[in-house]
Amino acid sequence: MGQKTYAIGDRVVLKASRSRSVTGEQRCRIIGILPADHGEAQYRVQIDNENFERRIVNSDIDSDESGSPASSGITTTVAGKSGPWLKPSSMRVGK
């Protein structure tokens, strides 16, 4: 059985673990898609009540509680932004 893959902007629920509270449901939004780690998809997410991002793997997501992944597949572009994320012409080097 294949693992579900999620797209940027999808909202997911994280499974409870030692580092996450069992009582509080951890809802988060996928901010970015990272390269796979030993064949398992990785995501950059932001939890609703936090102001920083975390890295999670596909097995951290409670697929029963989360909505179905985007059917359009993995998208890596954000609306309104195009081109490479690193622009050498905008870098400054101190001398």
Low-confidence ranges of the chain (pLDDT < 50): 1, 71-79
pLDDT of residue 74: 41
The per-residue pLDDT for range 59-81, each reduced to its tens digit, is 888 877 676 665 444 444 444 55
- Please calculate the CA angle 48-42-4 and round it to the nearest 5 degrees: 90
* Contact yes or no for 22/16 (Cβ under 8 A): yes
* Residue length of the chain: 95
Residue 33: count of CB within 10 angstroms of its CB: 17
